[in-house]
Amino acid sequence: EAGVVQSPRYKIIEKKQPVAFWCNPISGHNTLYWYLQNLGQGPELLIRYENEEAVDDSQLPKDRFSAERLKGVDSTLKIQPAELGDSAVYLCASQTGGTDTQYFGPGTRLTVL
């Protein structure tokens, strides 16, 4: 079974530029999460989807961050415009209903110059 797929793996951009990250969850997993991980810290939740509905986006900085999961499968996380402090690893995770375990992708390491 394929795991969670994320792309790109690495992205370097200049501040004020837009950037987008893509995630393909494990097949059949209806719950999808985006996390932010800063250096030396644990992952922190940005947004959680149940199918195509964002059920928890309370930690998403909505002035510059947006996300979508239009057909309840793949998801895209966007930052516009990026700031220096956005440099971090962005992780996607998925989970199937009735279980508590989340499975993570490899992450996208974003560097904002």
Partner 1 sequence: DQQVKQNSPSLSVQEGRISILNCDYTNSMFDYFLWYKKYPAEGPTFLISISSIKDKNEDGRFTVFLNKSAKHLSLHIVPSQPGDSAVYFCAASAGANNLFFGTGTRLTVIP
**Judged by CB under 8 A, which of 19, 77, 91, 110 binds partner 1?**
91
**Judged by CB under 8 A, which of 51, 56, 111, 113 binds partner 1?**
56
Question: Are 84 and 112 in contact, with CB atoms under 8 Å apart?
Answer: yes
For residue 98, the SS3 value is coil
Q: Residue 46 class from Cβ within 10 Å (0-12 exposed, 13-18 middle, 19+ buried)?
A: buried
Our finding on whether 29 is near partner 1 (CB under 8 A) is no
Which residues make up the interface to partner 1 (CB under 8 A)?
Answer: 4, 6, 33, 40-45, 48, 56, 91, 93, 98-107, 109
